[in-house]
Amino acid sequence: MEKLITKLKDVIQGNVFSEKEFREFYSVDSSSYKLIPKVIVIPKNEKDVINTIKIAKKMKTSVTVRGAGTGLVGSALNTGIILDLKNFDSIRLNNSHAIVGTGAIKGMLDKKLAKEKKFFPPNPSIGSFCSVGGMLGNNSSGSRSLKYGSVIDNVEEITFIDGNGKKITLPKNNKISNNLIKITESIDCKKFPNVTKNSSGYRADKIKTIKDSHKIIIGSEGTLGIILSAKLKILSNPKKRILFVVEYDSITKAATNCIEINKTNPSAIEFVDKTTFDQINCKFEKQSKCLLFVEYDENIKTSEKLLKKLITGKIVKKLQTEKEISKWWRYRDSSLHYSLKSIKKEKRIPHLIEDAAVPLKYFPKLFEILNKINKKYKTKSIVYGHAGNGNVHVRLISDRKNLGIIKKMATEYFDDIIKLGGTITAEHGDGLARSEFIKKQYGTANYQIFRKIKNYFDPANVLNPGKIITSKSTIIQNLENF
């Protein structure tokens, strides 16, 4: 380790830290995992990134890039070198694009965009705290992804350093784009989940033409390249928004109603259960079980009429000012916080099955699957999420701390999700929790193509090893305090 640190310190123009406090700080993120790295590099420029990869390769260690560390499945944790791109935080805007350094924090981007009355559509509930790099790394999304798509649908160009230390811009680089098309041409898209959001594996299904080649890097969790900058699509703020809060006396009723509501072109349909709405200062019916947040940002009058015709719950709020709308979205965005607050520490189960999605027509079935798990394993669950995308976040509550059972539970849950054409992760990524299930998700032949993609960009397996491509089971390894 001393040799590695000396080599890095000799060459890197930015900072190199190996003190215990730094290694501890970078050993955790917002997941339940902990992995202590050897050393942290905060590069000053792209030469530092290239040199770090070259040294890691020579010294047979790894490089894992980290954004703001808000990831929920340990994707940014590893035991080698951690690369923090906080100095790569430039933001340049023109009318339809933002050219952004990946160390930029989303809140800074949002502030700059707001001044120009623009926005970048994917809006994770973590709000301003995540980095653009982390959003690209996980293919993040949020409430408005229902209408505007995930990160992968909103990026035009990416510049990154691959596992050989080579700087590449896609889709500009024709040779690499063509090679990628060849590697992915036999991908079996029928084995991909039939959902509107998916952050599992490599998104080879999105590579239709050369123009799409950059999309393979999005959602690759730092395993194919260290992204330095990206050209993001930006949009003008809608003239008006309207948000309806609808209460239901049955979760099945709400889940079934989502299918119809989705046909009215809302910008968001979000779901929260009692744990969240108990925290809201508003009177709900005694028998209420859940709420849907339904937002429109165009054709407001027509949409309201349509919604009122098909709604099976009761509208409790119709919000029309930006101030009120933001206030209510903050309640929804705080669901993770409310859920953790309501579960005693000793009853929390690490969030490992927290992000599945199914085709919307099967949305009510997802709750059946969850009920089956709860019944079998004597667990309870708190649920909230991006209902319009058939995507729910689950917090399990249990007295038991049996790791084997957690793995069994996850395996059974994912089996049922995959049977319905769903994804094991719609937005948080695979990380340490789900990488071992990717082969199950996509089938052996597609997984072999994923291996070829990894080998093409990172033949020495230097970049974030153990994530996405792995033969190890990590779901119940290295769980902190469990």
Ligand X SMILES: Cc1cc2nc3c(=O)[nH]c(=O)nc-3n(C[C@H](O)[C@H](O)[C@H](O)COP(=O)(O)OP(=O)(O)OC[C@H]3O[C@@H](n4cnc5c(N)ncnc54)[C@H](O)[C@@H]3O)c2cc1C
Contacts with ligand X, residue ranges (CB under 6 A): 29-30, 64-72, 75-76, 85, 102, 124-126, 130-131, 133-135, 137-138, 140-142, 221-222, 226-227, 336, 427-428, 464
Can you tell me whether residue 211 is helix, strand or coil? helix
Q: Which is nearer to ligand X, 141 or 303 (CB)?
A: 141
Please provide residue 321's backbone torsions phi and psi, each rounded to the nearest 5 degrees.
Answer: -95, 150
Q: What is the DSSP letter of 237?
A: P
**Over the Cα atoms of the chain, what is R_g?**
22
Q: Which is nearer to ligand X, 119 or 311 (CB)?
A: 119
Q: Are 457 and 166 in contact (CB under 8 A)?
A: no
Q: Which is nearer to ligand X, 135 or 406 (CB)?
A: 135
Exposure on the CB side of residue 196, measured as CA atoms within 13 A: 21
Q: Pairing mode, if any, of strands 39-42 and 81-84?
A: parallel
Q: Are 468 and 220 in contact (CB under 8 A)?
A: yes
**Torsion, CA 447, CA 451, CA 452, CA 455, rounded to 10:** 170
Question: What's the closest the beta carbon of residue 142 comes to ligand X, in angstroms?
Answer: 5
Q: Which is nearer to ligand X, 307 or 383 (CB)?
A: 383
Question: What's the closest the beta carbon of residue 270 comes to ligand X, in angstroms?
Answer: 10
Task: Say how many C-beta atoms besides its own lie within 10 A of residue 245's C-beta.
Answer: 24
Question: What's the closest the beta carbon of residue 252 comes to ligand X, in angstroms?
Answer: 24
The two three-digit tokens of residue 432, written as one number: 């340490």
Question: What's the closest the beta carbon of residue 229 comes to ligand X, in angstroms?
Answer: 9
DSSP 59-96: TT--EEEESSS--SS-TT--SSEEEE-TT---EEE-SS
Q: Which is nearer to ligand X, 199 or 446 (CB)?
A: 199
Q: Which of 200, 86, 81, 198 is nearest to 133 (CA)?
A: 86
Q: Which is nearer to ligand X, 303 or 334 (CB)?
A: 334
Question: What's the closest the beta carbon of residue 313 comes to ligand X, in angstroms?
Answer: 23
Q: Which is nearer to ligand X, 73 or 366 (CB)?
A: 73
Question: What's the closest the beta carbon of residue 139 comes to ligand X, in angstroms?
Answer: 8
Question: What's the closest the beta carbon of residue 213 comes to ligand X, in angstroms?
Answer: 16
